[in-house]
């Protein structure tokens, strides 16, 4: 898992670790950028026994896990995988020029709008032939996520993880709290926690993407999946009373959020849950990375964001999914197709999950016997979902979410009373951004 | 952008003097130079000129041209001419633009009013050859040597609302009396400016110290013979002779204010309250589906501000120097 995976767009959060790493690697990175488009073209990619693959898994754990998958593939097919790993953030920032230059045959990417964007720009090759073979391994929701706007498949998902409300079982037992399933229960629980001296909802929005997660949850619970998709695609208006209702709900629970959120990183917010000072925390399962003590991690549990409108219940799950795509002009198309077919098997997913236990397999056929309790719960939550969303910055235009939504939501978190002017400003900017290209 | 102007002006400015003065002897020169000399000279002048034109002028002009287009960075055929739309949008509907301009101005005003006089003060004290002068110099100059990204990181730890030094000391990290130095738009700009000033004072100290070393000791002697006290000597004799240093200090401070970026970017990525033009440019241009045209429009605004500030000042300075 990467520190920043829920929001690919976010630039390096200045956590102690990543900054120190960044300083060390800065020179290397600087030198790497101009070479980005060049390195795909080098090497012996032209022969039929090698497939080149561009990867953003620069962190040690996923990098090793991926390497094991490729080794297993080579053993099985005799085709070598030539991996070019780039720093996670650099890969994302350079993706435009990378895909336009001489990209590797296969590259790692995200499902949803961000995948469809490159598919629509003809920077990826449709892989319907791959899906003819692997289609049976995946649930319908995953199939939907892997298709471009033209209805063709462009993406092979590997793993996914849900966003949910995390809590400590021991804290809930100690105070006799019950998991809330409706909005009223949720608000009542927040009030009780506050009375008991807890911070009801831990919150850190310094990196500007966590607030987008809160918005997503309240929006698809209030207005349903279809409206959420329309809003993200720039079709529905942000000044619609439906959106206003989302912010009204949010304003209702905002006083129960941790103070001073805009100055706090998600890691620091997670620490308040580790220290049992906070009652709940809405985040992805990667919050588990902050629980370094095994006993604390075993005490961690989560529940789906409570129902707001009974019409929609809890039918939507936010489950960002990572996987692979085929570039526009692969040098070894046959080999790449074979690799993608292999990546779409439960076998490949299990190899990955052995190394990284904070995520779950995208396929419903993968063996779940070795899953931890949290993984099992994540898996059930995702496979029983009617619709899956990715995350605001994966479901919408990244330029819109990073330059408009991130500052706007930070503004809202600080000044919930300004909601009307914030929304009309979002709508004004949205129109121009979605109108261009 | 601001660095562009600083490199551009020194190059254009001295040009007239060598051209004007040795005009008569130019034929003599030509005869004196061998073919090889001329090739060498041509290369020495030509290569930097080509690099300068390609890396400074062409890119600046390309960025100006792109400011009137929309472009997502994918293929040249996706560049669309939109006229002044980017600017109209910027001036009317971007909630971050005007605050960013304001913050850049505040940045300059604070730097020139607080750390610059303080740096001068330090320089004057250190110039008196007090004991451990070198140690003090090093201590005050150290923040300048440290990269701004590191400075931002260190101060970000000091200001961290939960575990930071300040809030821990004054007990402001509890619910209820929380002070959010990094996120609160009323506080964070000033918090960052403390860090920027901390560094800038050292920078100014070194510049003034160098200037003070160049002040003729005879001037001080003369003024003390005339019965001037220390303050009078400084005000009427030393400070006026520091005029060239003041020019450099002013230009450097303007450049610092306009290019302020790394510190804030590491501190809180230019969240509400600390928006800066340079950060808006980066946020719009870097990324996957970049808004290159829009980002260029912001860059052009930054360029225009730099030019508007620096060109009149340099013209005035050089005019005075030529008269002198």
Return d(Cα B238, Cα B228) in angstroms, integer: 12
Phi, psi of B81 (to 5 degrees): -75, 125
Determine the pLDDT at residue B80.
87
CA B218 to chain centre: 34
Q: Quick one: residue A168, left, alpha or beta (phi over 0 = left, psi -120 to 50 = alpha)?
A: beta
Which of chain B's residues have a Cβ under 8 Å away from the Cβ of A89?
none
A358 in a domain, yes or no? yes
User: B156 in contact with A at a CB cutoff of 8 Å?
Assistant: yes
Query: Is the distance from CB of A212 to CB of A406 less than 8 angstroms?
Result: yes
Q: Is the Cβ pair A199, B175 closer than 8 Å? A: yes
A309-362 tens-digit pLDDT: 999 999 999 999 999 999 998 999 899 999 999 999 998 988 888 877 788 988
Return d(Cα A16, Cα A188) in angstroms, integer: 37
Same domain membership, residue A325 and residue A311: no
Contacts with B, A 245-284, CB within 8 Å:
258-264, 268, 271-272
Return d(Cα A131, Cα A340) in angstroms, integer: 9
Determine the pLDDT at residue A18.
45
Which of chain A's residues have a Cβ under 8 Å away from the Cβ of B70?
436-437
Return d(Cα A183, Cα B177) in angstroms, integer: 29
CA separation, residue B222 to residues A105, A203, B123, B211 (Å): 79, 67, 21, 19
Which of chain A's residues have a Cβ under 8 Å away from the Cβ of B158?
none
Tell me how close the Cα of A273 comes to any Cα of chain B, in angstroms. 13
DSSP output for B192-242: HHHHHHHHHHHHHHHHHHHHHHTS-HHHHHHHHHTT--HHHHIIIIIHHHT
Phi, psi of A324 (to 5 degrees): -130, 150
End-to-end CA distance of chain A: 33
Q: Quick one: residue A162, left, alpha or beta (phi over 0 = left, psi -120 to 50 = alpha)?
A: beta
DSSP output for A51-73: EEEEE---SHHHHHHHHHHHHHH
Phi, psi of A266 (to 5 degrees): -65, -30
Pick B289 or A253 by higher pLDDT: A253
A2 in a domain, yes or no? no
Determine the pLDDT at residue A157.
93
User: B2 in contact with A at a CB cutoff of 8 Å?
Assistant: no
Same domain membership, residue A413 and residue A267: yes
Domains of chain B: 2-323 (1.10.3720.10)
A contact test, residue of B92, B271, B297 with most A CBs within 10 A: B271
Return d(Cα B257, Cα A243) in angstroms, integer: 39
- Please, which contacts does B245-248 make with residues 24 or more away whose CB atoms are closer than 8 Å? B245/B207, B245/B208, B245/B210, B245/B211, B247/B317, B248/B207
Contacts with B, A 70-99, CB within 8 Å:
92-93, 95-97
Which of chain B's residues have a Cβ under 8 Å away from the Cβ of A208?
269, 271
A4 in a domain, yes or no? no
Nearest to A398 among B70, B269, B288 (CB): B288
- Find the mean pLDDT for residues A131-151: 88
Same domain membership, residue A121 and residue A72: yes
The secondary structure element, H or E, covering residue A166 is strand A163-168
How many other β-carbons are positioned within 10 Å of the β-carbon of residue B19?
10
Return d(Cα B292, Cα B306) in angstroms, integer: 21
Interface size A-B, in CB pairs within 8 Å, comes to 136
Q: Is the Cβ pair A206, B268 closer than 8 Å? A: yes
A186 in a domain, yes or no? yes
Same domain membership, residue A234 and residue A371: no
Same domain membership, residue A231 and residue A138: no
DSSP output for B71-100: --SS-GGG-EE-TTHHHHHHHHH-TTHHHH
Which of chain B's residues have a Cβ under 8 Å away from the Cβ of A206?
182-183, 268-269, 271
Structure-block tokens of residue A377: 């719960």
pLDDT confidence bin for A24, thresholds 50/70/90: very low
Q: Residue B238: which of B213, B207, B206, B203 has the closest Cα?
A: B213
CA separation, residue B249 to residues A29, B107, B148, B316 (Å): 33, 15, 19, 16
A179 in a domain, yes or no? yes
List the beta bridge partners of residue A105: none
How many other β-carbons are positioned within 10 Å of the β-carbon of residue A353?
23
Return d(Cα A86, Cα A53) in angstroms, integer: 11
Same domain membership, residue A293 and residue A206: yes
Among A130-139, A161-170, A406-415, B177-186, the range scoring the smallest mean pLDDT is B177-186
3-class SS letters over B19-41: HHHHHCCHHHHHHHCCHHHHHHH
Return d(Cα A279, Cα A287) in angstroms, integer: 14
Same domain membership, residue A238 and residue A361: no
Nearest to B271 among A16, A123, A410 (CB): A410
B7-64 tens-digit pLDDT: 444 444 444 444 444 444 455 555 678 889 889 999 999 999 999 999 999 999 999 9
Return d(Cα B270, Cα B100) in angstroms, integer: 9
Map tokens 């075993």 to a residue. A298
Q: Is the Cβ pair B288, A436 closer than 8 Å? A: no
Check residue B184 and report its DSSP letter. -
pLDDT confidence bin for A46, thresholds 50/70/90: low
Return d(Cα A122, Cα A77) in angstroms, integer: 29
A104 in a domain, yes or no? yes
Nearest to A399 among B94, B163, B289 (CB): B289
Q: How many helices (H) and strands (E) does chain B have?
A: 19, 2
Is the alpha carbon torsion for B23, B27, B28, B31 positive or negative? positive
A10 in a domain, yes or no? no
User: B160 in contact with A at a CB cutoff of 8 Å?
Assistant: yes
Q: Residue A54: which of A30, A27, A32, A24 has the closest Cα?
A: A32
pTM, entire model: 0.80
pLDDT confidence bin for B255, thresholds 50/70/90: confident
Return d(Cα A43, Cα B168) in angstroms, integer: 54
Q: Residue A402: which of A7, A6, A3, A4 has the closest Cα?
A: A7
The secondary structure element, H or E, covering residue A76 is helix A60-77
Tell me how close the Cα of A399 comes to any Cα of chain B, in angstroms. 6
Same domain membership, residue A355 and residue A268: no
DSSP output for A139-156: -HHHHHHTB-TTS-B-EE
B68-95 tens-digit pLDDT: 998 877 778 888 888 898 999 899 888 8
H helices present in A123-209, as ranges: 128-134, 140-145, 169-175, 183-195
Q: How many domains does chain A contain in total?
A: 2
DSSP output for A325-359: EEBSS-TTHHHHHHHHHHHTSHHHHHHHHHH-TTS
User: B266 in contact with A at a CB cutoff of 8 Å?
Assistant: yes
**pLDDT exceeds 90 at position B193:** yes
B128-180 tens-digit pLDDT: 878 888 888 888 888 888 888 888 888 888 988 888 888 888 887 776 778 88
Which of chain B's residues have a Cβ under 8 Å away from the Cβ of A432?
85, 89, 93
User: A17 in contact with B at a CB cutoff of 8 Å?
Assistant: no
Map tokens 């150290």 to a residue. B142
User: B288 in contact with A at a CB cutoff of 8 Å?
Assistant: yes
List the beta bridge partners of residue A387: A316
User: A174 in contact with B at a CB cutoff of 8 Å?
Assistant: no
Among A72-81, A176-185, B170-179, the range scoring the smallest mean pLDDT is B170-179
Contacts with B, A 352-381, CB within 8 Å:
none
A11 in a domain, yes or no? no
Torsion of CA A126, A131, A135, A138, to 10 degrees: -50
- A61: domain CATH number is 3.40.190.10
Domain range for residue A253?
163-318+397-435
Pick A237 or A40 by higher pLDDT: A237
Return d(Cα A27, Cα A36) in angstroms, integer: 15
Is the alpha carbon torsion for A4, A7, A11, A14 positive or negative? negative
Nearest to A259 among B75, B178, B289 (CB): B178
Torsion of CA B291, A261, A199, A218, to 10 degrees: -20
User: B190 in contact with A at a CB cutoff of 8 Å?
Assistant: no
A389-409 tens-digit pLDDT: 999 988 998 889 988 999 999
Return d(Cα A169, Cα A401) in angstroms, integer: 34
User: A233 in contact with B at a CB cutoff of 8 Å?
Assistant: no
Return d(Cα B265, Cα B274) in angstroms, integer: 9
Contacts with B, A 128-157, CB within 8 Å:
none
- Find the mean pLDDT for residues A74-99: 86
Among A23-37, A227-241, A366-380, the range scoring the smallest mean pLDDT is A23-37
Pick B285 or B15 by higher pLDDT: B285
Return d(Cα A434, Cα B15) in angstroms, integer: 48
Same domain membership, residue A267 and residue A383: no
**pLDDT exceeds 80 at position A195:** yes
Contacts of A290 (CB under 8 A, 6+ apart): A267, A270, A271, A273, A274
User: A424 in contact with B at a CB cutoff of 8 Å?
Assistant: no
Which of chain B's residues have a Cβ under 8 Å away from the Cβ of A16?
157
Nearest to A263 among B80, B181, B286 (CB): B181
User: A344 in contact with B at a CB cutoff of 8 Å?
Assistant: no
**pLDDT exceeds 50 at position A115:** yes
A236-294 tens-digit pLDDT: 999 999 999 999 999 999 999 998 888 888 989 999 999 999 999 999 998 988 888 88
Same domain membership, residue A296 and residue A184: yes
Same domain membership, residue A377 and residue A242: no
Same domain membership, residue A415 and residue A363: no
Nearest to A9 among B73, B176, B287 (CB): B287
Query: Is the distance from CB of A91 to CB of A54 less than 8 angstroms?
Result: yes
Contacts with B, A 299-338, CB within 8 Å:
none
User: A30 in contact with B at a CB cutoff of 8 Å?
Assistant: no
Determine the residue of chain A that is closest to B294 in CA distance: A433
Return d(Cα A117, Cα A325) in angstroms, integer: 12
């Amino acid at each position: 898992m990467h520190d920043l995976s829920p929001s690919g767009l976010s630039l390096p959060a200045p956590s102690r670790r990543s900054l120190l790493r960044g300083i060390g690697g800065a020179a290397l990175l600087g030198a790497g950028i101009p070479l980005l488009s060049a390195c795909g073209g080098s090497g012996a990619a032209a022969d039929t026994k090698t497939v080149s693959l561009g990867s953003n898994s620069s962190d040690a754990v996923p990098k090793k896990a991926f390497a094991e998958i490729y080794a297993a593939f080579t053993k099985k097919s005799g085709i070598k995988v030539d991996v070019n790993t780039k720093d996670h953030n650099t890969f994302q920032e350079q993706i435009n020029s990378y895909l336009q230059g001489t990209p590797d045959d296969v590259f790692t990417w995200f499902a949803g709008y961000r995948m469809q964007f490159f598919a629509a720009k003809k920077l990826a090759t449709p892989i319907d032939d791959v899906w003819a073979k692997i289609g049976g391994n995946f649930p319908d929701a995953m199939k939907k996520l892997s298709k471009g706007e033209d209805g063709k498949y462009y993406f092979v998902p590997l793993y996914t993880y849900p966003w949910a409300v995390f809590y400590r079982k021991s804290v809930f037992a100690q105070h006799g709290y019950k998991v809330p399933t409706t909005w009223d229960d949720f608000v009542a629980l927040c009030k009780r926690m506050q009375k008991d001296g807890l911070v009801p909802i831990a919150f850190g929005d310094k990196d500007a993407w966590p607030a987008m997660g809160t918005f997503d949850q309240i929006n698809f619970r209030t207005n349903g999946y279809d409206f959420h998709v329309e809003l993200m695609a720039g079709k529905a208006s942000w000044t619609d009373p439906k959106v206003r209702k989302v912010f009204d709900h949010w304003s209702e629970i905002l006083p129960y959020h941790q103070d001073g959120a805009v100055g706090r990183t998600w890691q620091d917010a997670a620490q308040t849950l580790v220290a049992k000072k906070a009652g709940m925390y809405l985040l992805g399962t990667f919050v588990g990375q902050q629980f370094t003590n095994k006993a604390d991690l075993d005490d961690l549990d989560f529940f789906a964001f409570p129902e707001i409108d009974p019409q929609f219940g809890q039918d939507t799950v936010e489950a960002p999914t990572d996987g692979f795509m085929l570039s526009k002009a692969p040098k070894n198309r046959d080999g790449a197709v074979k690799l993608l077919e292999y990546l779409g098997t439960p076998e490949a997913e299990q190899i990955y999950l052995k190394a990284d236990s904070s995520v779950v397999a995208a396929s419903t056929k993968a063996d779940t016997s070795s899953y931890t309790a949290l993984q099992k719960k994540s898996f059930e939550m995702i496979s029983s979902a009617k619709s899956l969303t990715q995350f605001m910055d994966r479901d919408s235009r990244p330029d819109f979410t990073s330059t408009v939504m991130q500052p706007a939501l930070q503004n809202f978190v600080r000044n919930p009373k300004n909601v009307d002017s914030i929304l009309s400003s979002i709508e004004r900017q949205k129109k121009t951004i979605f109108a261009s290209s | 952008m601001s660095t562009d102007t600083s490199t551009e002006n020194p190059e254009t400015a001295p040009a007239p003097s060598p051209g004007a003065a040795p005009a008569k002897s130019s034929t003599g020169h030509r005869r004196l130079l061998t073919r090889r000399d001329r090739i060498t000279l041509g290369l020495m002048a030509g290569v930097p000129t080509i690099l300068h034109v390609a890396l400074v002028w062409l890119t600046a002009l390309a960025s100006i041209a792109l400011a009137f287009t929309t472009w997502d960075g994918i293929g040249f055929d996706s560049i669309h001419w939109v006229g002044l739309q980017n600017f109209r949008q910027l001036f009317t509907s971007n909630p971050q633009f005007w605050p960013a301009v304001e913050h850049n101005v505040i940045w300059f005003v604070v730097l020139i009013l607080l750390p610059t006089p303080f740096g001068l003060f330090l320089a004057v004290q250190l110039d008196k050859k007090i004991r451990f002068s070198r140690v003090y110099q090093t201590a005050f100059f150290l923040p300048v040597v440290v990269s701004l990204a590191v400075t931002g990181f260190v101060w970000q730890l000091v200001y961290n609302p939960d575990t930071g030094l300040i809030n821990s000391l004054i007990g402001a990290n509890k619910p209820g009396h929380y002070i959010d130095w990094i996120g609160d738009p009323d506080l964070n700009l000033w918090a960052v400016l403390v860090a920027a000033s901390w560094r800038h004072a050292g920078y100014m100290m070194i510049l003034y110290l160098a200037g003070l070393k160049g002040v003729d000791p005879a001037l001080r002697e003369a003024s003390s013979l005339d019965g001037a006290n220390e303050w009078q000597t400084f005000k009427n004799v030393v400070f006026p002779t520091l005029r060239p240093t003041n020019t450099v200090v002013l230009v450097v401070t303007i450049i610092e204010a306009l290019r302020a970026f790394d510190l804030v970017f590491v501190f809180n990525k230019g969240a509400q309250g600390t928006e800066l033009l340079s950060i808006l440019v980066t946020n719009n241009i870097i990324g996957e589906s970049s808004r290159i045209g829009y980002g260029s429009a912001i860059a052009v605004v930054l360029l225009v501000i730099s030019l508007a500030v620096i060109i009149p000042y340099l013209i005035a300075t050089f005019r005075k120097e030529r008269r002198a």
